[in-house]
Structure formats: structure tokens, C-alpha cells
A and B are shown apart, each in its own frame.
Chain A
């Protein structure tokens, strides 16, 4: 860890988005014809040349975009770093600078050793070439030497599952087959620094899992990985460290849990706690208003990150403003992928029979430990007035939290099959009976 794999020092990247010295609208034909070429000559140069004022950043010029601004960090050998942020935060630009596709406008980047950058699946693939030929083509484009590919060729074919079609032109493959082959090549790269952009977005669930596992191994084998993804579960699982980018700046450089949490905070409605200070603004009507929703740990503290080994509470506080209401709040747990996992309503039966008193109610729905799968979870809070069959409020994604497997027990999840499968990972109670051989009555 003490050795450096990558060092990024005060890196900024500017792009020119408008055209400087914008064209005169009412220029005569002769003007356009004679002066335009001269103007163009300057214009194309200005695409990569910036004035000192622009570089200093004090010029509020509208045609300059800071894709990255004063970003500095270092990555040690063997670290797996996740980069998160919204679209346009500068994640991909950062990867492009690290992989030398484009130079920084300011600052300096030092890479120790060989970089392979996976910005898409199937770079260098050509449909006319056979699977075998594409393995060599893509492998060398991604930075492998021919003899390295020779040595790994069998493994790559095995991994891809393409089998006997390896000598068939790729244009005859199904799209799934060519993606698998392309990924098989990527998975067998052994660079000193692996740079991966949202490549997991392609392929089916099975493929994505295989992909994640292979990348996990890359991390375990001491390779340095920089990984951009919107899949928070994948980021949390694969990386120890995270970088949170916002508007081209590096906002948070911390543990992956902290960074994933920050990212979810940025989602607007997806903080782990939510308060409505002004009762008039709060969801609800004249009879009942929602005042706050919080995610709490089993110790009762607000939190955005929960270990799978611990229970998590969804605390709902609401004010009853008029007597005579039969109120039943309920929550729906929504997975990262937008799937409704389950709904749970207030289990206190008396509130369905006895109207609530006016006042403040604080209720916590406890989700047991060893039940939720890793990844981001969003909460929908609904209030129904049973006495008048009315939906009082329904708040989507009120709060969010991230489930991680820090204790890394994995016990009872068939861990030898790889990462737990499915949208939940409950620890079930297994019972068994044993019968001695001589006591078994055959037939």
C-alpha cells in the first residue's frame, strides 16, 4: 500500500463549448467569405488553447466548461477505488485523463506501470474477424502482448463460453456471445492499473455477476483498479475507498461507505433522514402531517449505512391534528434496481380499531438483521386513513440507506457459490433430523 500506483496533482480539464468571438449575425457575404477562414483558424486553435484568465478560473466566460477542477489524490498499489457522482460530475473525464486519451489542461498525472482502460466492452472488435482474431486484436489494443494472449488464450475461450464458434466471424455471433467474448478478453488483462468505466451496464444479470466477481479477484490479486459505476451495490462490494465527484471537483475522498452515503445524499430525496420543519409544507392534510423519516441503527442512532449483521429501523414521526382518525402508516422497501422488495404496515392492531389521539407519534419499523441484501435501499412512506378510505400521503424515496457486508460473514448464504444471489439475503433457520443407517427402513 505504501507504493504509489497513481498520483493526480491539481488536475483541471477545460473544454470550450461555445465558439469564441461568436459569428456576426448580419455579416455580408464577402465578410463571411473572406474573414470566416481567418476566424476559423483561430477558433480551431482555441479548442485546446485557453487564455491565462480562463485558466485562472476568474473569467466567468460562458464558453469554457471545467470538466475537472483542481483534483488531487493518490492511489496506492493494490487499492480498489470506486468513483461515484452524477452524470457530468467529471468521472469519465478523469478516467480519460488517467488513461492518456486526452491531456489535462492543468496539473500533472503520474501513472506507475501499465494502464488498461475499459471504457466500453469490445474495443477493437471487428465483425468480419473471427472470435480468435478478435481476441488477439482486442487484447493488443487493450495493451497486451501477443505472447501474453497466447498463454491465456484457452482460459479466455473457456471463460467466454464461445467454445467451438471461436473460429466463426463475430458478425455471426449473437450479441450476447460477442459481449461475453469481449469481456473475457478484458477479464484476463493484467495491467498494473485497471481503469473501468460503466461497462457493467451491458449484458444480462448473469454476465454482470461474473464480471463483478472477476473484478473482485482483480482487486484481491493486488491489482490496482479505478472503477466508475452508478451501481452502488457493486461499488460498495468491490472497493475499499471511494471518490465522490461533483461538478468536476473531488468532494469526498474517503471510505467507500462514506462515499456511497454522500452519493445517496446528493440524490436529493435520498438522504437517510428527512425533516419537514414547516408543517404547512409537510406531506399530509389537515388531519395528519408527516414530520420526519429517519433510518436508525439498532442502537437508535441515525445512520446511512447498515451492516447486514444488524437490524435497521425506519423511524416515522407524524402529527395527528384531528381526532377520530384510524391511521395506518406503511413503508415499502425499494431496491437499488427499483424493485419493490416488500411492504410493511403498522402492526399495532389497536390503531385500526381505536382512533388516535391528537399529538405526535413516533413509530419505528424494524427490519431484522441478516435479511437485506447489500446495496442501496429506498423507502416509500404511505399513510392511509382507514376511517375514510383515503390516501393521506405517499412519499417516494423519502430516505435511503446502504447495506454493506462489513462483517463479511456471508455465512448461510452459500458463499462458496460466490456473492449472495437475489434481492434479499435472509439468514434462514435450517432444521434437520438424523437417522442412523440401521434404523432406516428400506422400501
Chain B
């Protein structure tokens, strides 16, 4: 008994507010909870719906069709010399993931007030849950990408090896914004009000509807700072390499995007850590 007690981890809580990183070892201790939270979110989202997980495919499919008809057909936007449907699908599927998980992650603390006040577990689990659970939806919606690639008989190039890196990078973006915005939203509900405009702004400043070569070259340095740009250009290069000569890997947006995301994830984790302590008092 005495030896057992010696091994007990001592947790200290005091009033000091420090600048420190999210406690990853503590999070590791709660990995089973994270797993069940992710799993619960997926299960509850589709509970008692006839469509079930099929909605993961239908939602982006409708979005793609609307974009294709309006921007590809009516407006006639230039799409790097390939069918607009192909051009759009490869961008809309990752964008749907990023915008969805970003919105949910940002709302994750203020949306769980009752749970926050009843029980303690590492609060980072709240924003991580939508980021991971919507990953499942994303993987299912890749069916759309595969279907469109097969339909247009696009043969992947070696660029496809970039895909795992792109998926990780794509998750960093909502994580970065989710950490910052969820902890800012504790104090300022303005975040929730601005969120819709903010997401639309991110979308218009990334090459989702239009081709990135329509952006003037002298703006490019600013343009690539939006981490969404690197993700979308990356997906197009990785999957559509053979469809158009314009589809090459643009390292500038990829590297800039990853660096910007990482800086925001790391700083966001510190800010989140600082705010998570007082969340229950402020919210």
C-alpha cells in the first residue's frame, strides 16, 4: 500500500496563470475519452437519420454541383484548362472538412458550458473532438473525389505521394484556428458572430472557386500566407497532376501554409492552456 501510494501522481492547482504548453502527457492519459468523444459525435450526428453516413457524401456533392453550374457554367470561370467539376471537387471536399471542423472547434468550449462546469478533463479534448470526428466524414467523402477522377479518367502521378502530408497539414489548419478562436470565444462572443463571415473570407481568399494563377504574381507573397491556399493547391497538384500542365506542386504555398499553421497551432496551444483554466469563471 505504501509503495503504491508513492507512485501516485501529485497534481497541484494554484492561482498562478502561466504561459505554458498544453499538457500532452495528461492528454495521453485521456486518450480513451478522446476516442469515445469522437465516436459519440459521429454516432449522434447521424442517429435516427435515414441517410446516415451517406450525408457525408451528399452535402459536399450538392455544393460541388452548385459551384459547377454557377461558377463553371454560368459565370464561366477559368479552371486551369480542365473540366470545372473535376477542378471543383478536389477543392470542395477538403474545404468542407476544414470549414466544418473549424466552425465546430471554435464553438466547442462555449457549446459545452454545462459539461465544463460539471467535470474536469483536459479541455483541449473539446476542440480536438470535431477535428477528429469530421476526419471520418472527410475520408468517406473522398469517394466523390475517386468517382470524379475515374469519370474523367485522370491517372494519378507520383505527386499523389504528397497526400498523407496534405491530410495532416489540412488538420493543422482547423486545429490552429480552433485553439485560438475557441479560447477567444470564452471572453468575446463576437467570435461566434464573426465566424460565418470569417469562413467565407477564407474561402474567397483561397483558390476554391477560381484558379490560383488568376491571382497577380506580385500579390502571391501575401496570398500564400492564407494556409488554405497551400492545402487546395496541394490537393490539386497531388490528384490532378496529369489533367493539366498547370498542376505542379507549388512549394511556396505548401511551405508557407505549413509554417503559418504550425506557428498558430503552437501559439494557440499556449493561449488555450492559459484560458482553459479560467473558462468556467468567464464563460
Contacts A3-B5, A44-B282, A110-B11 aside, 7 further interface pairs with beta carbons under 8 A come to A47-B281, A48-B278, A108-B12, A113-B9, A115-B11, A117-B119, A145-B32
* Interface bracket on B: 35 or more
- What is the size, in residues, of chain A's interface with B at 8 Å between Cβ atoms? 47
**Chain A, Cβ-Cβ closest to B275:** A48
Chain B residues, CB < 8 A from A44: 187-188, 282
Shortest beta-carbon contacts, A-B, top 3: A113-B8, A140-B33, A128-B47
Contact of A70 with B by CB under 8 A: no
In the assembled complex, the Cα of A140 lies from the Cα of B119 at a distance in Å of 11
The residue from A103, A119, A133 contacting B15, defined by CB atoms under 8 A apart: A103
Residues of chain B whose beta carbon lies under 8 Å from any beta carbon of chain A:
1-2, 5, 8-15, 30, 32-33, 35-37, 40, 43-44, 47-48, 115-121, 187-188, 277-278, 280-282
The residue from A47, A101, A145, A146 contacting B117, defined by CB atoms under 8 A apart: A101
Q: Given known contacts A111-B11, A133-B43, A192-B8, is B116 in contact with A101 (CB within 8 Å)?
A: yes
Chain A residues, CB < 8 A from B35: 140, 146
Give A41 Cβ to nearest chain B Cβ, in Å. Answer: 8
**Chain A, Cβ-Cβ closest to B186:** A44
Chain B residues, CB < 8 A from A123: 115, 118-119
Q: B5 near A105 (CB under 8 angstroms)?
A: no
29 contacts between A and B (CB under 8 A): A44-B187, A77-B5, A97-B13, A100-B13, A101-B117, A101-B118, A101-B119, A102-B281, A104-B15, A107-B14, A109-B14, A111-B11, A112-B10, A113-B9, A114-B9, A119-B118, A120-B118, A123-B119, A124-B115, A124-B119, A128-B48, A137-B36, A140-B30, A140-B32, A140-B33, A141-B115, A146-B35, A192-B8, A222-B1
Q: B119 near A99 (CB under 8 angstroms)?
A: yes
Chain A residues, CB < 8 A from B13: 97, 100, 103-104, 108-109, 111
**Chain B, Cβ-Cβ closest to A113:** B8
The residue from A3, A108, A142, A145 contacting B119, defined by CB atoms under 8 A apart: A142
Contact of A136 with B by CB under 8 A: yes
In the assembled complex, the Cα of A200 lies from the Cα of B126 at a distance in Å of 29
In the assembled complex, the Cα of A47 lies from the Cα of B279 at a distance in Å of 10
In the assembled complex, the Cα of A108 lies from the Cα of B120 at a distance in Å of 17
Query: Which residue of A47, A48, A128, A133 has the most chain B CB atoms within 10 A of its CB atom?
Result: A48
Contact of A380 with B by CB under 8 A: no
Give A140 Cβ to nearest chain B Cβ, in Å. Answer: 4
In the assembled complex, the Cα of A137 lies from the Cα of B117 at a distance in Å of 17
Chain A residues, CB < 8 A from B37: 137
The residue from A100, A110, A113, A128 contacting B120, defined by CB atoms under 8 A apart: A100
Q: B277 near A146 (CB under 8 angstroms)?
A: no
Q: Which residues in chain A, 210-251, are within 8 Å of chain B measured between CB atoms?
A: 222
**Chain B, Cβ-Cβ closest to A197:** B118
Q: Which residues in chain A, 296-331, are within 8 Å of chain B measured between CB atoms?
A: none
Q: A112 near B5 (CB under 8 angstroms)?
A: yes
Contact of A159 with B by CB under 8 A: no
In the assembled complex, the Cα of A384 lies from the Cα of B8 at a distance in Å of 64
**Chain A, Cβ-Cβ closest to B281:** A48
Q: Which residues in chain A, 1-33, are within 8 Å of chain B measured between CB atoms?
A: 3, 15
In the assembled complex, the Cα of A99 lies from the Cα of B118 at a distance in Å of 9
Q: B43 near A146 (CB under 8 angstroms)?
A: no
The residue from B11, B32, B40 contacting A126, defined by CB atoms under 8 A apart: B40
In the assembled complex, the Cα of A114 lies from the Cα of B5 at a distance in Å of 11
Chain B residues, CB < 8 A from A47: 278, 281-282
Give A290 Cβ to nearest chain B Cβ, in Å. Answer: 48
**Chain B, Cβ-Cβ closest to A48:** B278
In the assembled complex, the Cα of A225 lies from the Cα of B1 at a distance in Å of 17
Q: What are the interface flags for A135-150 relative to B under an 8 Å C-beta threshold, 1 for contact and 0 otherwise? A: 0110011111110000
Q: Given known contacts A117-B120, A133-B43, is B188 in contact with A111 (CB within 8 Å)?
A: no
Chain A residues, CB < 8 A from B8: 112-114, 192
**Chain A, Cβ-Cβ closest to B277:** A103
In the assembled complex, the Cα of A143 lies from the Cα of B278 at a distance in Å of 21
Contact of A274 with B by CB under 8 A: no
Chain B residues, CB < 8 A from A144: 32
Q: Given known contacts A106-B15, A146-B32, is B119 in contact with A141 (CB within 8 Å)?
A: yes
Q: What are the interface flags for A76-107 relative to B under an 8 Å C-beta threshold, 1 for contact and 0 otherwise? A: 01000000000000000000110111111111
Q: A104 near B14 (CB under 8 angstroms)?
A: yes
In the assembled complex, the Cα of A15 lies from the Cα of B278 at a distance in Å of 11
In the assembled complex, the Cα of A113 lies from the Cα of B2 at a distance in Å of 13
Q: A107 near B10 (CB under 8 angstroms)?
A: no
Give B44 Cβ to nearest chain A Cβ, in Å. Answer: 5
Contact of A129 with B by CB under 8 A: yes
Query: Which residue of B12, B15, B117, B188 has the most chain A CB atoms within 10 A of its CB atom?
Result: B15
